[in-house]
Amino acid sequence: MNRRDLIGALGAVFATPVFAKARPAPQPTGSAVLLPMRLGIEALRIARGWCQVGMDLEAQAGGMAIQKAAANFQNVYSQFRAAAPALGQQEAALLFEQHWRVYRMSFMARPDPAAARRVLSLSDDLLGLARKSGAAVAQRVGGNAALYARAAEGSLLVERMMRLVLSRQWGVGTADVPIMIDEDHKAFAKLLTELAATPGASPEMLADVKLAQQQWGFFERALAPGADAAAAREMLKLGARMDEAMESVLTHLPA
pLDDT tens, N- to C-terminus, the chain (255 residues): 555 665 555 655 555 455 555 555 555 688 999 999 999 999 999 999 999 999 999 999 999 999 999 999 999 999 999 999 999 999 999 999 999 999 999 999 999 999 999 999 999 999 999 999 999 999 999 989 999 999 999 999 999 999 999 999 999 988 999 999 999 999 999 999 999 999 989 999 999 999 999 999 999 999 988 768 888 999 999 999 999 999 999 999 876
Query: What is the reported pLDDT for 97?
Result: 98
**Greatest CA separation for the chain:** 51
Range of the domain at 115: 3-251
Q: At what angle do helices 113-141 and 59-87 cross, to 10 degrees?
A: 30
- Can you give the pLDDT at residue 14? 54
pTM of the model: 0.89
Q: How far apart are the first and last CA of the chain?
A: 41
How far from 236 is each of 178, 182, 227, CA to CA, in Å?
A: 18, 18, 15
* Total structural domains within the chain: 1
User: What is the per-residue pLDDT for 29?
Assistant: 83
| Distance of alpha carbon 240 from alpha carbon 182, whole angstroms | 19
Kindly report the number of other CB atoms within 10 A of residue 42's CB atom.
26
Determine the Cα–Cα distance for residues 28 and 126; give it in Å rounded to an integer: 22
At residue 176, the pLDDT reads: 94
User: Is 122 within 8 Å of 103 (Cβ atoms)?
Assistant: yes
Comparing CA positions, the residue from 215, 247, 184, 182 lying closest to residue 42 is 247
